[in-house]
């Protein structure tokens, strides 16, 4: 049986957040919380007791983008080691390598197949031993 996973999904695009919520709902073992910006994600992570197992960050967001949000997360000892997956519409090999170098455990390319999203994320978590 799959382990329970709590995911914080961060994307400024409301349609994509809804798609992700529905997609992760297909996996009875995943709970998802969404945030519409990097700042909103950081506020959620500052809440006492909220410690997601995985954080998914859209790369391109206004104001605080995905890599910028990751940098802020790494400054916070209580969540610094939380595995991060980037979501991006630009997945050239060089860019993907750059995101992995920043410490992400994986990169998901938009557009993604919603039915496969939970499977892909679980596979990344397993591969990373997270």
Residue 32 DSSP class:
E
Q: In sequence order, what are the residues at sequence separation of 6 or more whose Cβ sits closer than 8 angstroms to the Cβ of residue 70?
A: 57, 84, 102, 103, 104
Q: Applying CB under 8 A, does 112 fall inside the site for other proteins?
A: yes
Residue 60, interface with other proteins (CB under 8 A)? yes
* Distance (Å) of CA 113 to CA 16, 46, 69: 11, 31, 25
How far apart are CB 103 and other proteins at their closest, in Å? Answer: 23
Among 89, 100, 116, 126, binds other proteins (CB under 8 A): 89
Residues 30-59 that bind other proteins (CB under 8 A): none
Q: Does 15 bind other proteins (CB under 8 A)?
A: yes
Instruction: Report the SS3 class of residue 84.
Output: strand
**Is the CB of residue 54 less than 8 Å from the CB of residue 108?**
no
Residue number with CB closer to other proteins (46 or 89): 89
CA angle 10, 34, 6 (to 5 degrees): 100
> Does residue 93 touch other proteins according to CB under 8 A?
no
CB of 51 to other proteins, least distance (A): 27
Contacts to other proteins by CB under 8 A:
13, 15-16, 18-19, 22-23, 25-28, 60, 62, 89, 110-112, 114-115
């Amino acid at each position: 049986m799959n382990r329970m996973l709590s995911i914080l999904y961060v994307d400024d695009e409301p349609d994509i957040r809804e798609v992700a919520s529905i997609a992760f709902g297909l996996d009875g073992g995943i709970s998802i919380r969404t945030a519409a910006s990097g700042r909103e994600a950081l506020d959620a992570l500052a809440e006492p007791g909220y410690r997601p197992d995985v954080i998914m960050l859209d790369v391109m967001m206004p104001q605080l983008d995905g890599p910028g949000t990751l940098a802020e997360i790494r400054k916070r000892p209580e969540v610094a080691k939380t595995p991060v997956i980037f979501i991006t519409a630009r997945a050239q090999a060089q860019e993907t390598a750059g995101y992995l170098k920043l410490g992400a455990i994986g990169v998901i390319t938009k557009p993604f197949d919603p039915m496969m999203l939970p499977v892909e994320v679980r596979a990344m978590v397993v591969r990373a031993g997270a």
